[in-house]
Chains A and B, each alone.
Chain A
Amino acid sequence: MNKTINQKAWYFVIPVFVLVAFNAAIPLMTVVNYSFQETFGNNVFAWEGTRWFKQILLSERFHAALGRQFAFTFIILLIQIPLGIGIALTMPKKGWGVPVCLILMSMPLLIPWNVVGAMWNIFALPDIGFLGHTLNSVGFDYNFTQQPGDAWFTTILMDVWHWTSLVVLLSYAGLNSIQPAYYQAAEIDGASRWATFRYIELPKMKKVLTLAILLRFMDSFMIYTEPFVLTGGGPGNTTAFLSIDLVKMALGQFDLGPAAAMSLIYFFIVLLVCWVFYNLMMKNEAQS
């Protein structure tokens, strides 16, 4: 049978193409455009080549922000993943407790991010905030607006409060998909609680956990709103993560060229880490 060649179907792709062009390609290309040029007022541009990229990659300011960013992401993953699994394991599997727990768990996820920041800002204020005041009254010298350690502590606590639920919900879904027969089989074998977790629950949760880690990595790596409202990147620059630093550079200093170069580098780092991470996880998957 001869295949009829009909290329008219391509026309149907046009709407999507236009849409993607407007919401992704064109803004992105504007950034690319800025990153290679010096921008003056009145739309006057001068070609700079890779100068901004070199400048950013060699700047101590960028290194510091990147370091803070990785440290933050690493710490919150280290807390949220085990904590999320732990909470999911203790959640009831049937009865009235299920909807109650699920609703309580999804609550933080439903709150707008800037509200979360504002909430925690007030909550943690050393003089009037419940957390700040309590900590100070029991003898801790706590002031997140002045002490970098306290600022980090508060930011991490806020993120853990805000996002652990996501890990909990994903883990809970993963746990619920394990057939009860697995637990019975383990019980008959005389397996301990730990062995049941290690050899049944954890392997069975692998896919959702991969997803949870990936999502939490991306979100926390691009975090902006909450620390912006909470600390504004301060005190000093101690909680100025990549995105906060980027906005400072682009809109505070109006260094459009370096800011554009920085956002492209930022974008490639996220892409690279996700790609590496995903491949590692999937390679493991293929082996088991």
Chain B
Amino acid sequence: MSLELKNVEKKVGIDTHIYPTNLKLEKNTINVLLGSTLAGKTTLMQIMAGLDKPTSGEIWFNEKNVTGMKVQKRNCSMVYQQFINYPNYTVYENIASPLAITGIKEDEIKQRVGKVAELLKLSAMLNKKPNELSGGQQQRTALARALVKDSDLILLDEPLANLDFKLREELREELPKLFEDRDCIVVYATTEPSDALMIGGNTATILEGKVIQYGKTLEVYNKPENLISAKVFSDPPMNIAEITKSGDNCKFTDNNVQWKPSVKIKDGTYKIGIRPHNITTYKEGNNSVEIDGKVQISELSGSESLIHFTNGNLNWVSLSNGTQQKNVGENTKLYMNTDEFLYFDQNNRLVKNG
């Protein structure tokens, strides 16, 4: 089983929503579409589902061309950011709705709904109506509806975006497990890099209607093909600066901080990408270098501290563990873990070893 997009393009009027895209999703994989709002994630999913037709290009499912085939014939299910359930159906009827239409016997429906309800912890509320449930439970109901059908393709369009923090964390942990033993392709759209890392599987980074990179999630994260992919897959935003390499050492163009690069690169000028968590208020790794910073903003996010600082023309973000209190305007020392630096050439491509 596989889903393949061949040169799929979507134009609406003079706007291009999706640039020609090639993507092959394999059986039993979870695939994250990672990109900001309006990047084209939803459009891509609707094309995959058959809710929307590509302007040009083809969609192949199981080595069969399904371009233009109606969604009803595709055996796929979808969960949305909004909690979509039939308002005057009970939870049971809601979960059973995709089965009822196919004409499966009552006994089997009952058994399958029961099983999915248990999996999603809905057994106790099968007789309630959706608006009597909390947001998390409503979304669980929608998820159950998607799972009960044994679809070949399950599309999740930012399913956690409308949930509060705790429910989101909880459901996010459960999600990958739900799909573990299923014979299907899962596509998960999100704006949050942390979602992608948590879910694992494969990730496609998307920017303005273009799929930038597709591969194993950790690979995409650790070895972004180019600067754009690295930027999409970084939250808080990646710190970027220009550097020059000569001899053994690298040096920022804007200041005198020097270090020995961890990858072999030729002499010349490069762009460097540093993820915020590789700049910390404490030393990390064996090859950390010190940088002076003037604190602009200091904020706490859970058990982490974000410090926005400037150094000359550089305007950077650092992310440290624990609660690090800094005063605005204070001069402070920060440490960069040079092992984790990403080097990009003048064409914004990642420079690899050798």
Instruction: Indicate whether A115 reaches chain B with its CB closer than 8 angstroms.
Output: no
Instruction: Establish whether residues A190 and B80, one from each chain, have CB atoms under 8 Å apart when the complex forms.
Output: no
How many B residues have CB within 8 A of the partner chain? 23
How many A residues have CB within 8 A of the partner chain? 15
Instruction: Establish whether residues A199 and B88, one from each chain, have CB atoms under 8 Å apart when the complex forms.
Output: yes
| Of A78-86, A164-172, A178-186, the one with at least 4 CB within 8 A of chain B | A178-186
Q: Which residue of A lies closest to B100 (CB)?
A: A189
Instruction: Indicate whether B21 reaches chain A with its CB closer than 8 angstroms.
Output: no
Instruction: Establish whether residues A288 and B87, one from each chain, have CB atoms under 8 Å apart when the complex forms.
Output: yes
Instruction: Establish whether residues B71 and A187, one from each chain, have CB atoms under 8 Å apart when the complex forms.
Output: yes
**A-facing mask of B128-164, CB < 8 A → 1, else 0?**
0101000000000000010000000000000000000
Instruction: Indicate whether A276 reaches chain B with its CB closer than 8 angstroms.
Output: no
Instruction: Establish whether residues B98 and A190, one from each chain, have CB atoms under 8 Å apart when the complex forms.
Output: yes
- A190–B72 Cα gap in the complex (Å)? 5
Quote the shortest CB–CB distance from A281 to chain B (angstroms).
14
Instruction: Establish whether residues A189 and B89, one from each chain, have CB atoms under 8 Å apart when the complex forms.
Output: no
- A187–B74 Cα gap in the complex (Å)? 11
Q: Which of A189, A200, A288 contacts B98 (CB 8 A)?
A: A189
Quote the shortest CB–CB distance from B320 to chain A (angstroms).
40
Instruction: Establish whether residues A181 and B51, one from each chain, have CB atoms under 8 Å apart when the complex forms.
Output: no
Instruction: Indicate whether A203 reaches chain B with its CB closer than 8 angstroms.
Output: yes
Instruction: Indicate whether B86 reaches chain A with its CB closer than 8 angstroms.
Output: yes
- A32–B165 Cα gap in the complex (Å)? 61
Given contacts A179-B82, A179-B84, A199-B88, contact A187 B98 (CB under 8 A): no
Instruction: Establish whether residues A199 and B84, one from each chain, have CB atoms under 8 Å apart when the complex forms.
Output: no
Instruction: Establish whether residues B82 and A200, one from each chain, have CB atoms under 8 Å apart when the complex forms.
Output: no
Q: Which residue of B lies closest to A200 (CB)?
A: B86
Instruction: Establish whether residues A189 and B80, one from each chain, have CB atoms under 8 Å apart when the complex forms.
Output: no
Instruction: Establish whether residues B88 and A203, one from each chain, have CB atoms under 8 Å apart when the complex forms.
Output: yes
Within 8 A of A (CB), among B69-101: 71-72, 76-78, 80-82, 84, 86-89, 97-98, 101
Q: Which of B80, B81, B88, B101 contacts A185 (CB 8 A)?
A: B80
- A182–B49 Cα gap in the complex (Å)? 15
Instruction: Establish whether residues B84 and A182, one from each chain, have CB atoms under 8 Å apart when the complex forms.
Output: yes
Quote the shortest CB–CB distance from A214 to chain B (angstroms).
20
Instruction: Establish whether residues B88 and A288, one from each chain, have CB atoms under 8 Å apart when the complex forms.
Output: yes
**B-facing mask of A257-288, CB < 8 A → 1, else 0?**
00000000000000000000000000000001
A residues whose Cβ falls under 8 Å from a Cβ of B? 179, 181-182, 184-185, 187-191, 199-200, 203-204, 288
21 A-B pairs within 8 Å (CB atoms) are namely: A181-B81, A181-B84, A182-B84, A184-B78, A185-B78, A185-B80, A187-B71, A187-B72, A188-B71, A188-B78, A189-B101, A190-B98, A190-B101, A190-B102, A191-B97, A199-B86, A203-B87, A204-B87, A288-B88, A288-B129, A288-B131
Known interface pairs A191-B97, A203-B87, A204-B87; 7 further A-B residue pairs with C-beta atoms within 8 A, sorted by A's residue number: A181-B84, A184-B80, A188-B51, A188-B77, A189-B98, A189-B101, A199-B86
